Each structure stands twice: as structure tokens, then as C-alpha cells.
Amino acid sequence: MNIIVPIKQVPDLVEELEVDSSGKALDKEWLKFRINEFDDHALEEALLLKEDLGGTVTVIALDGDDVDKALYTAAAKGADKLIKVTGVDAELDNHKAAMALASVIKDMDYDLILTGVQAVDDLDGQLPVLLAEYLGLPHIEVVTGVKVDGNVATVQKEFSGGIVGEYEVDLPAVLGIQAARETPRYVPVAKVRRAMRSAEIEEVSANVGDVSSALAVERMFKPETGGGAEFLTGSVDEIAAKIVELIKSKI
Amino acid sequence: MHEHEITREIFRNFPLWMQVVFYVVAFSSIGVFLFGAWKRIQKYRKGRPAGRFNKLPQRFLKVLGIMMTHATLRKNYTYVGVAHWMIFWGFVVLFIGTCIIAFDHDFLRFFGVHLLKGTFYIVFSLFMDVFGVLFIIGLVMMMVRRAKKPFNLNYARVDRPEGKYDRSGYIRDDKIFLWLLLFIAVTGFIIEAARIAADGFPEFEKWAPFGYAMAHLLKSTGQLNAIHMATWWVHGIAVLIFVAYIPYSKAMHILVDYANLMFADKSTAKRLPRVPAEKMDKEGMGYVKLEDFTWKELLDFDACTKCGRCHYVCPARTAGAPLSPRDVILDMRMYADQLSGTEEWIDKQVLTNGGKAKSIAGDVILPETLWSCTTCMACMEVCPVGIEHLTTIVNLRRALVDEGEMEDMLQDALANIGDYGNSFGKPERMRAKWTKDLDFKPKDARKEPVEYLWFVGDYASFDERIQERTRKVATILHRAGVDFGLLYEDERNAGNDVRRVGEEGLYEMLAEDNIAALKSAKFQKIFTTDPHSYNTIKNEYPDFGGEFEIYHYTELLLELIRQGKIRITDKLKGIRVTYHDPCYLGRYNGITEPPREIIRALGMELVEMPRNRSNSFCCGAGGGRIWMDDSGLKERPSENRIKEALSLGDIRYFIIACPKDFAMYSDAVKTSGNEGKIEVKDIIELIEEAMEGAEVTAEA
């Protein structure tokens, strides 16, 4: 069972986010980056499957902020192979990202691709879909459980209202993971340090041609706060009169 | 035999064949003993070095002193201490006496020398007689105690239900041990009495007063020589059975515990052993196999006498958690014995978990057992035989951390500390946000020299309820003219509890970062309100190259009061209060008096809780427990402690001197439904109230 897990680095939301002077992007100077939470779940699910069935887990990421640290952490958790895809600037463009990943993955040997259903910085849920499309594979999104039997995976998908759907999908396939069976594991600092010394990151350059989402950020800003609230005081009649007046003034 | 020579005949009336039989049996018994002892020594030799072979004469003499006074045994247990003293010294004197007989008869005889006669014999007789009686009294006292079924001697496990284990072997061995010794002692007196009676009550035998008195009881039976012969054999065989039995039973403590006390080092708790860099790099941090333990830790497992004192004081056990320090040690003994072929044949438990254990941390000691420990060190404090439970527990936790096996809450806390340097998951630059509401700005010790560097700690910095107290400390010190500064965002969690959780890699990172930050700052001394930070900076940072002079804020405040820089009014005079010793301040570092002196200086009436100073009861937050779920406990240790305070009757303030304690006890007062009956106060709040001048703290 060989599993590929594409991961992505996203801004750490613990830090206060600032928009840069262009007004179209985050000010990166003070930002910390960490693995996208859903990708962390995809990695956990992959590691659990590997523990059950054997095989390998390959973690692949586009080059970017603090990406080495994320890859080494994955190795410390139990990933067998680390790949960094260079030569592509796909920030917030999942068409480009998916094409870059697909161009590297298509020549690899794998049974399953698990990745986060979405990332906190794009919230479009498109990456798994596009990746499946470019690789010509079936895909299922918002997955909360995976069981593999031979060449078939039984996949659970959680709907609103606590209803769970169960699907069967032929392998290989792309699954967009919402949550792993278990909380992503803790990896002790010593293991990460060890991985930094011993694990190797393979660098592969990719060319995505002119693939693009054709979307551009127009403006990035913090939600504008409302004008505040006013407390009306007085007797019931007085308050009623004030309300009538307010409504009249708005019409 | 000459009627009036002052001595006794060895092998009285024994034909030669009987003597031969005796020696054959005696040497077989000693052989069985030596085999068992040798197997045990082989087991300890499997352990890693523990670095305890320095100062051997001092170590030996120290324990000799402990044996003379029974200082560790009688602490809080006078009855047991007295009984054990009598058994111990009875045993020692009778043993030495037997050795003298053997030496005299089996060695000196061949040189024509005979020691046991005349005055020497009389003194010998008297000693043997008196200590023989003390021995019997001690044994009977212990039997009476056991008959009363004290809590300490209840072997019920707390981590698995009855039926899943069988400890009847322990109880059986307790009985064998006591009855066998009593039988040996009583038959010894019967032999003596029969001999004295048979010899017609020689005058000098009055120096064996108890044997002499017993002889009067026997004299009417007639068959004195037959009684002597028969009892002699029964007694002799019993003694030789006992000798052979020692290394395979609880009697083993006779051999092991002197050594264990000699090599004991309580400071391993406050200064945990480092993981060798090579091990950390290649294998992982934790203990996973028997060879990972030091020989002292392997010796610890055999040293346990099941006295149950640790079981009794343990806050986890008290709270209904599945941890008993006693059982950790006993289970490790069982495991080590199974692997070493030193299985106790008599003194043993049987666990019905099926199959052999695969992992030590996990199968032999359950993860939930290891995680229950608050590292309060109460177990080590009360252990009369120098067992170091904590290094074993922490090293097994390290193995769990290696595998990432921990609950989610703890995992989040560690991840936060790794990412942001604090357990709250707040950005680093928020660390000194609490200073915003002060009416002055504390100096930045990274930029300007100060006398005192204040290591604030996570809880005092980030917990909103505690920030208020932190500001009071800042304001009062500022008013008193203390020149202090902070590390601001360069301070990290000190790591005391990270280390005790078992995350040694993260601890090393924190220690290295803090030491680097401290070294680049300009200050003379450190102070902190946090006993946990205090402990690791004082005792553990030196191992990482950070030697600093550090004080607890109660020490500093007391000094300021004495110097008159903080002037106290009698506003709080006569108020009845009690004080809770934080584990890491009192038990770990012996700072028990400064807070009490402050309380007295404020004129309050300090009423001590039964468990105070080094015997203090943990709040339940230590060792990383503050980052773990405590909803499964029957009664939180903090609630138990509040009840203890309330039992003193009409106490207004429950005084604390530790930021975590404020959080723990404020909650406990509410959850135990005692709001309004007692109020938790940081000692700084009382100083503020009693100070000359108006309210000093700028509130948020």
C-alpha cells in the first residue's frame, strides 16, 4: 500500500494577520507558517493505513515558507519519502498547484493519494478535485474514514446533521480528508531533530505551463466593524416613539 | 562437661553423625542462599551505571546512623518504628551471636582458643537473651498491627479490578516471614531453657534471665535432654530454611535495603537524569528494555517492602487515579524478575492480563498509570528505604512520548510550547502584555542592567486571573525600590513540567533558549513567583551550562519587610489563616519558612494543616498534570486539600505562593461547594492589604 500525501504550509492563525501595502496579500514578514490542519489529518490517516497494511507514505509539498520543517516533521512521524516540488509559484492558485503536483506524481508508483479537503488560506476545496482530474483518477471529498481491502477503498463521508455516507472506490484514487480516525500524533522534538539529520528531501522541479485559475485577488482587508449599538432608554412609550422615529428616518 | 565451667556446650549430647548431618544441611542452605543472592546481583549488573560509588565510607556510615535511630522508618510511624527497631536489632544481635559461636567452634577451636566462657560468655548470654526478647516483642507488635488491617498494608490494586490479579502470594509471604521468625525465636528460648534445666540451674545462667525463668516452667516435664535435642533440630532446620528463603522472599530486604539506602539520592527528583545524547539521537529518550534502567533503579525494585507509605500519601492514588507508586515498583520488580530468572517463588503476584508484556511503558505499567503522576515527590519523601520512584516514572513517560502516546490536551500543550514557548498557545510577543496595565514600565533586562531578573513563568504571564497577582508583585517591588527587569518575549516556558512529562527534547530546547536569553541579559540575581521554574533553573539549568543565583519571591519579600522597605500595618492582625506548601518549593527545595515568616510578620494567626512542609499534599497540577484531563478523578487532590484546610475550623484565608496553586485552589473552592467559607489568597495580596499607604495596584 503506497500512499502519497500532498501537504501545504499555511499562515499560523495564532499570530495577528496584517495586510501588506499592496492591499492584496498578507504581510509575510512576521508570519509563522505551519502545516495546513487538514493535510495533517491526511498524513495521520496515511500513517494509520500504513501501520495496518504496510507499504510506504510519501509526503510531497510545493516549495514555500518553512516547508522543509513540515517535511522533516512528517518524516519524524513515520513518512518514508519526502519530495519538494520547486520552480512553481502557485500561491492561492490551486489549478497551478494541482498541475505541479500531478506532473510529479504521475510517474510515481502509488495506490492512494490523501490530502486535506481544503486549506485555511484558500477555502475552495478544489485541490483534491483538480489533482484527480489531472491524474485521471476518481475522487471523494470530505472524507472522515478510510478502509482499504485489496484494490477497493471503503470511504466514509460525513454530511450535515450527523448522516454518514459510505462509498466504495477503486484504487488508485484521490481522497480529500476532513478528519483522520485519530488526532494527528505528537512527534517529540528529538525525533524531528533526528529526522533533520537523517531524512533526505528529494527536490523535483515542475513545469506547469500556462495552467491557471485565472483568478486574481482584488482586495484583502479585515472585515469592517459595524457602527455600534445604541441603547434606547426611557419608559415603554418613549422607547416606542424613538423606534418609530428611527424606522421613519431610514425609509 | 564440667559442672561449674561458665560456658555452654555446642552440639550438646550430639553423636558425630548428627553433627555431620547438620553441617551438610547448613552448607546446602547457605548454597541456596548464595545462589539466590548471586542471581540478584547478576540482575543488577544488567543495569546502566548510576554513578553512586563515590564516598563509600560516608555512605556506609550515614546508613549506619539511620539504622541506629531508625530515622526514616519511625517518621510519622512511631509504633512501626519501635517494633522494627526491636526486630532489626534483635535480629542483628542474634545473628552476630550465632556468628561468634560459629567462629569460636568452627575456627578458633582448631587453634586451641575458646572465647565463649567466663565473663565473655555471661555478657554474651545477657545480650542474646535481652535482644531475643525484644525480637519477639517486635514481631508480636507487627502481628498485632497486621491483624488490625491498616490501610497501608492493603494490597488491593488501583489500576485494575479484583479478579484480574492475585496477590495472595504477598499475604502468604507476610505470614511466613513473621511466623518463621517468631518460631525461630521461641524455639531458641526453649532450647536454652531445656539446657539450663537439664544442667540443674547453674548460677551463672541467671545472666540469661528469660531462659532461666523459662527453665523453671520446663523442669517438671522430665524429658529435658530429649526436649533439648528435638527442639534444637527443629530450631536449626527452621533457621536454615530461613537462610535459604531470604533471597527468594520479602526477607530479601534484609540484604537489599542497606545498599539501597547507601546509594539513594533524592536529588534525582529535582535534577532529573539527562538522556545521553547518543541514545537520544539513535534510540529515543525513554526506557524500553531492562538494560535501560540503572542498577540503582533495578535495586529500587527489590528494595520495596510493601510498607505502603507511598501508596498512602500519593495524591494520584488519593484522588482515585490508577496510580500507586508502590505498585509501579512491584510491577517493575515482577517484570525484571521474569526476565532475569530471579522470580520470587513465595512473595509474588500474578497478573491475568494474558501473555508476556511487549512494552514496559504500556503493558507492564499502563500509560494511564504513568500519566497520573504529579511528580510531587511525596512517595520518595516517605519511602523509608530510599526508593527513587520518579526517575523510573519519568523515564517510562519518555518512552510514551517517543511513541507520541498521550492525551490530546497534553499534546496541544506541548505543541504550543514547541511553537510559541508557552502552553497557552499565545504569540510570543504577548508574553509581557500583563505589564500594559501597570503605571510604570518594567525595565527590559536585555537592554539595561538590573539587579534582579524576574523570570515570570507561563501562568503568571498569561492566565488572566493570575496576571492580576503578577501586577501586584510588580507594583509592590517597584514601590519598594527593587531594581528589576524582564526578558519580555525572549522568556520561554522554563520547562520544569515539560521535562517531567517526558518530552526531554523539547525541554532541552527550552532550557537552551532560556539560558541563552538569560546570558545575554544583564542582571545579578533571578527571582520568580513560580516554584516550578525555580526548581529547574536552580537545579537543572546548571547541567546545560546555566548557573544562576535564584530566589523565590517569598524570600525576596521577606527580606524587604525585614529591611523596612515594605512597611506593614496591623490591619490583618489576628486573622486565622493556613498556608499550603507548593511541592516544588517545600519538599523539593526546602523553602518552607520565608512564607511563614511573612505571614507572622503580617500578624496573622497561622494554623498548620496536618500535612505541611515536606509532608505537604500536592494540588494535583505538577508534572504536566495541569495540561491533562482530570475529570475522571473521584476527588481532585486540590479539593481534598481544601477540605483539610476547612477541617481546621474557621480559617479565613488559604494562602498560596505559587501561580498554579492560585488557579487550582480557586477552582477547588468552587467545585467543592465551599465558596464563602474560605478564600484563596496569594501571599502578595495580603502584603498589599497590610501595607502602609493606599491600594497600590493599577487594576485593568
Q: Does B419 sit within 8 Å of A12, measured CB to CB?
A: yes
Q: B514-550: per-residue pLDDT in tens?
A: 999 999 999 999 999 999 999 999 999 999 999 999 9
Q: Does residue A206 register a pLDDT over 50?
A: yes
Which among B420, B426, B505 has CB closest to A188? Answer: B505
CB contact under 8 A, A189 and B280: no
Give the side-chain half-sphere CA count within 13 A for B322. Answer: 11
pLDDT in tens, B396-414: 999 999 999 999 999 999 9
Provide the residue type at B472 as one letter. K
Q: Determine the distance in angstroms separating the CA of A224 from the nearest CA of chain B, rounded to an integer.
A: 24
Mean confidence (pLDDT) of chain A: 92
Q: Tell me the shortest Cα–Cα distance from A16 to chain B, in angstroms.
A: 9
Q: Which of B397, B400, B420, B431 to substitute to test the interface with A, most A CBs within 10 Å?
A: B420
- pLDDT band at residue B432, thresholds of 50, 70 and 90? very high
Write the single-letter amino acid at A140: I
Asked if pLDDT for residue B267 goes beyond 70, the answer is: yes
Q: Which three cell numbers stand for residue B400?
A: 510514551
* pLDDT per position as a tens digit, B189-200: 999 999 999 999
Q: Do B509 and A185 touch (CB under 8 A)?
A: no
CATH number assigned to the domain covering B264-402: 1.10.1060
> What sign for the dihedral angle of Cα B145, B148, B152, B154?
positive
Query: A6: distance to nearest CA of chain B, Å?
Result: 22
How high is the pLDDT of residue B222?
79
Closest residue in chain A to residue B283, using alpha carbons only = A191
- How many Å separate Cα A197 from the centre of its chain? 27
Instruction: Quote the cell numbers at residue B140.
Output: 508480636
Q: Which of B404, B420, B426 sits opposite A187 (nearest CB)?
A: B404
Which of B285, B408, B426 is facing A188, going by the closest CB pair? Answer: B285
Q: State yes or no: pLDDT of A134 exceeds 50.
A: yes
Cβ contact, residue pair B285, A194, below 8 Å: no
**For A54, left (φ over 0), alpha (ψ -120 to 50), or beta?**
left
In the CATH scheme, what is the code of domain B565-690?
3.40.50
A contacts of B404 (beta carbons < 8 Å): 77, 185-188
Interface A–B counts its CB contacts (< 8 A) at 51
DSSP assignment of B448-471, as one string?
Answer: S-EEEEE---HHHHH-HHHHHHHH
Distance, in angstroms, between A141 CA and closest chain B CA?
Answer: 26
Give which of A14, A29, A33, A185 to mutate to test B binding, by max B Cβ within 10 Å.
Answer: A14
Q: Which domains does chain A have, with CATH numbers?
A: 2-221 (3.40.50.620)
Give the pLDDT confidence score for residue B2 in this predicted structure.
45
- The CA distances from residue B433 to B405, B448, B463, in Å, are 34, 20, 11
What are the pLDDT digits (tens) for A147-177?
A: 999 999 999 998 888 899 999 999 999 999 9
Cα–Cα distances in angstroms (integers) from residue B364 to residues A145, B154, B334, B632, in the given order: 32, 21, 9, 22
Closest Cα in chain B to A196: B281
Give the position of cell 525576596.
B556
Q: Do B280 and A186 touch (CB under 8 A)?
A: no
Q: Tell me how far apart the alpha carbons of residues A167 and A156 are, in angstroms, rounded to a whole number.
A: 6
What is the model's pLDDT at position B4? Answer: 55
Contact of A51 with chain B, judged by CB distance below 8 Å, is answered with no
CB spacing of B504 vs A190 below 8 angstroms: yes
Instruction: Give yes or no on whether B422-561 and B565-690 have one common fold.
Output: yes
Compute the nearest-CA separation of A214 from chain B (Å): 36
In this structure, is the dihedral angle defined by the CA atoms of residues B114, B115, B117 and B118, taken in order, positive or negative? positive
Q: What is the mean pLDDT of chain B?
A: 95
A14 touches chain B (CB under 8 A): yes
Quick one: which of B191, B197, B260 has its CA closest to B228?
B191
Alpha-carbon torsion (B657, B661, B667, B670), positive or negative:
negative
pLDDT tops 50 at residue A2: yes
Q: What is the DSSP string of chain A?
A: -EEEEEE-EEE-TTSPP-B-TTSSSB--TT--EEE-HHHHHHHHHHHHHHHHH--EEEEEEES-TTHHHHHHHHHHHT-SEEEEEES---TT-HHHHHHHHHHHHTTS--SEEEEES--TTT----HHHHHHHHHT--EEEEEEEEEEETTEEEEEEEPGGG-EEEEEEESSEEEEES--SSPPPP--HHHHHHHHHH--EEEEE---TT-----------PPPP--------S-HHHHHHHHHHHHHHH-
Q: What is the CA radius of gyration of chain B?
A: 31
**What are the tens digits of pLDDT across the range A54-83?**
999 999 999 988 899 999 999 999 999 999
**May I ask the CATH class of domain B422-561?**
alpha beta
Which chain A residues are within 8 Å of B284, Cβ to Cβ? 190-191
Pick B420's closest partner by Cβ from A14, A186, A194: A14
Phi then psi for B276, rounded to 5 degrees?
-55, 135
Element (H, E) at B579: strand B576-579
How far apart (Å, rounded) are the C-alpha atoms in residues B30 and B28? 5
The whole-number average pLDDT for the span B10-24 is: 91
Contacts of B409 in chain A (CB under 8 A): none
- Chain B residues near residue A191 by CB distance under 8 angstroms: 284, 402, 505
CATH code of domain B16-45+78-150+166-252: 1.20.950.20
Task: Please give the grid coordinates belonging to residue B436.
Answer: 500594559
Residue B312 · residue B156 · CB < 8 Å: no
Burial of B434 (0-12, 13-18, 19+ CB in 10 A): buried
Q: Does A181 touch chain B (CB under 8 A)?
A: no
Ranges of each domain in chain B: 16-45+78-150+166-252, 264-402, 422-561, 565-690
| pLDDT tens figures, B356-378 | 678 999 999 999 999 999 999 99
Please give the single-letter amino acid code of residue B142. M
Cβ atoms within 10 Å, residue B313: 22
DSSP, collapsed to helix, strand or coil, labels residue B551 as strand
Structure confidence at residue B675 (pLDDT): 94
Measured between beta carbons, which residues in chain A are less than 8 angstroms from residue B413? none
Largest CA distance in chain A: 78
Rounded to the nearest angstrom, the minimum Cα separation between A40 and chain B is: 13
Tell me, what's the pLDDT at B356? 66
Contact (CB, 8 A) for A154 and A166? yes
**In the prediction, which pLDDT does B353 show?**
65
CA-to-CA separations, B55 to B67, B268, B578, in angstroms, rounded: 18, 17, 42
Least confident among B460-474, B625-639, B684-698: B684-698
- In this prediction, residue B698 carries a pLDDT of 43
State residue B496's pLDDT score: 98
What are the residues whose beta carbons fall under 8 Å from the beta carbon of B520, sequence distance 6 or more? Answer: B446
In this predicted complex, what is the ipTM?
Answer: 0.86
- B455 has a pLDDT exceeding 70: yes
CA B517 to chain centre: 35
The whole-angstrom separation of Cα B220 and Cα B658 is 74
User: B137-185, pLDDT tens digit by residue?
Assistant: 999 999 999 999 999 999 999 999 999 999 999 999 999 999 999 999 9
Lowest mean pLDDT among B46-50, B226-230, B340-344, B684-688: B340-344
State yes or no: pLDDT of B345 exceeds 90. Answer: no
At B550, which helix (H) or strand (E)? strand B550-552
- How far apart are alpha carbons A167 and B306 in whole angstroms? 57
Residue A233: pLDDT band (50, 70, 90) is: confident
Of B281, B406, B504, the CB nearest to A194: B281
